[in-house]
Structure 1
Amino acid sequence: MLTGVDPGKDLSSVGRCGRLVAMGALVVALGLGTAIGNDRWWPIGPMVMFAFGVDPNSQVHSLGVEADTVAGKRVVVPLGAGGIGLERAEIEGQQTAIEAEPKRLQAVAVAASRSLPDDPRYRTVYLVDTVQQLKDGAADGAPVRKVLATWQVVDPDHPRDLS
């Protein structure tokens, strides 16, 4: 039990009114977010990435980023807070723009050099779509990787923004 709290004591009319206004605003925001919002409205908008089902006999696409390092090794670029700081959703949201202008992948090399200073720099960066065929809802065969865009990093040892 909380000390110093009298459960029998009523809120003042100002307190009740404030809570009602806050609750009403939240309900309106959630309603608008659901009706006309998109993922950018989070946390009041719908999370459309979870709002659909996948045909159990279709394909599942997973977008990612890979790179060739200056040390000659192909690596999967670690996205997210523990990696280069760019989230996979950010890459997915930029897919069309990256395919149209692969130079946008320079930002991945720049972010990696800042976030992972002890790792080898990236010489070439790839936007990769991994496609898994489904049959009756289960993986059918090995996933297939398709390179959607390729960028040769400008000055791999000291990558910089191109903007």
Structure 2
Amino acid sequence: MEKWTRWFQPDPGCDELRPDEQAFLTALQQAAVQWDVGYAASWANRDEEEHPCLLAVVSISDRNVQLAEFGVHYRDGHAQGDLLHSCLHELPDEPTPDALDVRGEPGQVAAECAAWFESILRRPVVSAQRVYAGVVTKPGVAPQRPWKRLFRFGRGAGI
């Protein structure tokens, strides 16, 4: 097994990828080969629901607590990325400031997606459990602005 296959491994049972999806995923894996991040995991899978696409996801954690999942939906030379819904892995209805939208050849799109993922992975991880330890037991203790930002997407942390 080559070193670059550590990132964005397709989930077991993932449907066979189309040639452009395989090219995209291989290029994304190769671009990620130098990433050395201990607080993130990744995976890939096909979403066959409403809008069939290839998902490539990075899950960011802090001490075994998942903080956020960022991912891209790739289909036919087009990738859209953003903070994903934690259960459904859907893109938000309204793009966040972190949103990505690129088109092109699979290798080019993968390179832009890899740069986007890497920029997110370089950010410091801030866990709400450390910053506002009393938030869960005493709602309203945390200042309102960070509280709203931290829980805007149904998560207990901000990145």
One fold, TM greater than 0.5?
no
**What is the TM-score when the length of structure 1 is the normalising length?**
0.24
Q: Which has the higher helix share?
A: 1
Bigger radius of gyration among the two: 1
TM-score w.r.t. the length of structure 2 is: 0.24
